[in-house]
């Protein structure tokens, strides 16, 4: 009788425990933010289904030797084109190269151009600001840069020590990017350290709004995961005229 009672109690407790675990895995967005990922499927996102799925409660991009991608391919969040915002996103890179696109444009076949918070497995570029299909590396990690109207870059200061940034990166584990855009000012933070501070005055090339996306890089087989993706849109810090200035076609 006692054994039967214990079995009944255990059976009753299992759904409760699982329910608590699920609620932890899908925690509420921070105050003022909205979640861009439901933790279950790719609702709100578009990409090549051969490469993108949800695994262990995380958006997962993967290529293999038998199923490579011919060029960089992206998963696009299609529910808005944020202008001024704060984006928080956790990533775990298990090989090769990836990145988080923002204020970007959609090109055919799930390709994107625009600003990218860079990630690479060797951690040579993780923390940098790259412009996909555009101006290349805009800001090296640890620096404050002003891009003049003619495209010339001027280093205006330091945000953090290179060795401190590298030491903060957790290999094969979860890291967090915080990306803040206000007008033509872009700040990237990696695991709490400010790695990039950009003032982009090149109106012909910069973007003041655009899509968010996740990158799978062409080349060697790779795997990357993303979770806890939260967005807070802010009041525009620029005039309506400049706020509608999008990046031109990539070079």
What local confidence, expressed as pLDDT, does residue 51 receive?
A: 98
What local confidence, expressed as pLDDT, does residue 149 receive?
A: 98
| CB neighbourhood size of 206 (10 A) | 25
What local confidence, expressed as pLDDT, does residue 73 receive?
A: 98
How many domains does the chain contain in total? 1
Burial class (CB in 10 A: 0-12, 13-18, 19+), 7: exposed
Domain contains 15: no
Q: Does the pLDDT at position 204 exceed 80?
A: yes
Domain contains 49: yes
Domain contains 20: no
Spell out the SS3 assignment of 59-72.
EEEEECCCCCCCCC
**Which domain, by its residues, includes 110?**
35-243
Q: Does the pLDDT at position 112 exceed 70?
A: yes
Domain contains 134: yes
Domain contains 123: yes
Domain contains 144: yes
Domain contains 221: yes
Domain contains 81: yes
Q: What is the CATH number of the domain that holds 225?
A: 2.60.120.560
Q: Does the pLDDT at position 246 exceed 80?
A: no
Please tell me the pTM assigned to this model.
0.85
């Amino acid at each position: 009788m006692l054994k039967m009672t214990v079995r009944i109690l255990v059976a009753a407790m299992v759904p409760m425990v699982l329910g608590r675990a699920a609620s932890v895995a899908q925690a509420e967005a921070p105050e003022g933010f909205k979640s861009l990922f439901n933790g279950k499927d790719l609702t709100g996102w578009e990409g090549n289904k051969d490469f993108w799925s949800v695994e262990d409660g995380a958006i997962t991009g993967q290529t293999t030797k038998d199923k490579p991608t011919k060029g960089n391919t992206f998963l696009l969040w299609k529910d808005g084109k944020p202008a001024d915002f704060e984006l928080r996103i956790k990533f775990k890179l298990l090989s090769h190269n990836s990145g988080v696109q923002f204020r970007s444009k959609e090109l055919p076949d799930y390709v994107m151009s625009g600003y990218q918070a860079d990630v690479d497995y060797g951690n040579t570029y993780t923390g940098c600001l790259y412009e996909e299909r555009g101006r290349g590396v805009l800001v090296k990690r640890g620096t404050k840069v002003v891009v003049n109207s003619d495209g010339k870059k001027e280093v205006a200061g330091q945000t953090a020590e290179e060795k401190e940034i590298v030491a903060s990166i957790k290999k094969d584990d979860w890291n967090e990017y915080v990306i803040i855009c206000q007008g033509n000012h872009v700040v990237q933070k990696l695991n709490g350290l400010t790695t990039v501070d950009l003032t982009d005055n090149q109106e012909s090339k910069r973007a003041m709004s655009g899509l968010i996306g996740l990158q799978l890089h062409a080349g060697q087989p790779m795997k990357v995961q993303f979770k806890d993706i939260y967005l807070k849109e802010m009041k525009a810090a620029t005039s309506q005229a400049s706020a509608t200035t999008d990046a031109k076609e990539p070079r």
